[in-house]
Amino acid sequence: MIKVENLSKSFKIYESSKGFKGAVKNLFVRKHYEKQVLHNINIEVEEGKIVGLLGPNGAGKTTILKILTGLLRPTEGTVTVNGHNPFNRSREFLKEITLVMGQKNQLWWDLSAHESFLLQKSIYEIGDDKFNTNLSKLTELFNVKDLINIQVRKLSLGERMKMEIINALLYDPKIIFLDEPTIGLDFEAQKNIRNFIKRYNHEYKATIILTSHYLNDIESVCHDLIVINKGKKIINESFDDVFSQFANQKIIKLVLKEPPADIHVLDNFKGNMTIDNMALEFKVESEKVDSIIGFCNKHFIIDKINIENLSFEHIIEQLYNKEID
């Protein structure tokens, strides 16, 4: 459904001179430099998959989504989305995709959501029957049928986000790009949107790319995972493959009965160990578990021991810290 090959993107950044003279000078001569935000990215997304796109702030996630939707052109590389070149912005392509950005509103603030839906109906030439059917289904899935005639400015943040998503899906897009759709929402609203994404994907077989800083969003709904950092791809794999890479690593959590007599005996574990008052936590390979526990039994008085697999949060932390070529 989506194929990205050797994608790079750089922006021209202008530097402004200070003061009045500097402002006049800027009218004629402006210094600038090239900032590269994406470096030789290769990505493949299969049809019908929900894919999580993860990376720290500034990694290039939103830039990738803007390129995939044709809002930005790459500096280098090729991109195809369901056989289309996004940068041609053809009518057929635009009717197959939608982009929802959690930090930007598409609904008219002073109108009711339903009036904005009617505008969307006109723009995308949605027939009456299809519009009424889709609106009924989507408002039922989100349980907001009694809210669509209320002025958008009077809706809560969670309610507005639901309306934004409904507005984006009225014309049955095949490919959905969601950029931080749950940002700023409370736990219940986040849960509702995650459940909606899963139900919509199951019912319509839509391909969905989701970015979020809430790992629960990614872990609970996505089939595959793309991780980027500093504009470079780290992985593009299924969740099962990602977890299998870390299956041999364990978390050992120890609670001590009394403060350690000599904390310096743990100096050799720095980087793989954290200490918080009377609690120790080690990240180690499975074969080292027994030796670590034996070592701690020798030097400390232990109250509790707990051994766990690496959580999704720990895995993402390690991926973010992974060396990038």
HEC per residue, 82-126: CCECHHHCCHHHHCCEEEEECCCCCCCCCCEHHHHHHHHHHHCCC
**Could you state, in order of their start, the residue ranges of all structural domains in the chain?**
45-243, 248-309
| Contact between 37 and 60 (Cβ < 8 Å) | yes
Model pLDDT for residues 96-153, shown as the tens digit of each residue: 999 998 777 888 888 999 999 999 999 999 999 999 999 998 898 888 899 999 999 9
Looking up tokens 């990205």 gives: 4
E-state strands within the chain = 2-15, 31-45, 50-54, 76-81, 97-101, 175-179, 207-211, 224-229, 232-238, 249-256, 273-276, 279-285, 302-309
Taking residues 223-239, report their average pLDDT.
90
Model confidence pLDDT, tens digit, residues 51-89: 999 988 888 899 999 999 999 999 999 999 999 999 999
Contact present, 19 and 87 (Cβ < 8 Å): no
Mean pLDDT of 155-184: 89
Higher-confidence residue of 109 and 325: namely 109
- Superfamily of chain region 45-243: P-loop containing nucleotide triphosphate hydrolases (3.40.50.300)
Instruction: Report in angstroms the alpha-carbon separations of 45 from 2, 83, 246, 265.
Output: 5, 13, 23, 48
The mean per-residue pLDDT over the stretch 241-266 comes to 84
Checking if the pLDDT of 236 tops 60, the result is yes
Architecture of domain 248-309: 2-Layer Sandwich (3.30)
Instruction: List, for residues 23-34, the tens digit of each pLDDT value.
Output: 777 777 777 778
Of the candidates 142, 135, 199, 145, the residue with the CA atom closest to the CA atom of residue 169: 135
What pLDDT does 22 receive? 72
Residue 324 has a pLDDT of: 56
Whole-model pTM over 0.85: no
pLDDT at 323: 57
Q: What percent of the chain has pLDDT over 70?
A: 99
